[in-house]
Amino acid sequence: MAGRSTPRLGIVSSLCWLVLLLAAIPAAWAQAAQASSSRALQPVIETARGGQCVADPAFMRRNHMKLLMHQRDDTLRGGIRTGKHSLKACIACHASQSSQSVTAEPSNFCQSCHNYAAVKIDCFECHANTPANSAAQPQVKP
Partner 1 sequence: MKHDNPTPANEAATSRSGRRGFLAAAAAGLTGIALAPGVRLIEIAQAAPAGAALSAGASSKVRWGMLIDSNQCSADCKACVTACNSENGLSGGTLPTDSQWIRKLEIKEVRSGRKQYLPMMCQHCAEPPCVDVCPTGASFKRADGIVLVDRHRCIGCRYCLMACPYKARSFVHAPVTHQKPDAPRGMGTAEACNLCVNRVDRGEQPACVAACTASGHAAFLFGDLNDPSSEIAKRIASYPTRQIRENLNLDTGVRYLGI
Residue 102 touches partner 1, criterion: CB under 8 A: no
Q: How far is the CB of 140 from partner 1 (least distance, A)?
A: 6
Stretch that binds partner 1, among 1-9, 10-18, 19-27, 89-97 (CB under 8 A): 89-97
Question: Using CB under 8 A, which of 30, 70, 88, 117 touches partner 1?
Answer: 88
Phi, psi values for residue 30, rounded to 5°? -65, -40
Q: Tell me the C-alpha distance between 13 and 31, whole Å.
A: 27
Interface map 6-45 toward partner 1 (x if CB under 8 A): ------------------------------------xxxx
Q: Which residues of 76-103 are buried (b: 16+ CB within 10 A; e: fewer)?
A: eeeeeeeeebeeebbbbbbbbeebbbbb
Of 28, 63, 57, 40, give the one whose Cα is nearest residue 118: 40
- Point out which residues bind partner 1 (CB under 8 A): 42-53, 56-57, 72-74, 76-84, 86, 88-89, 91-93, 95, 97, 100, 125-128, 130-135, 137-142
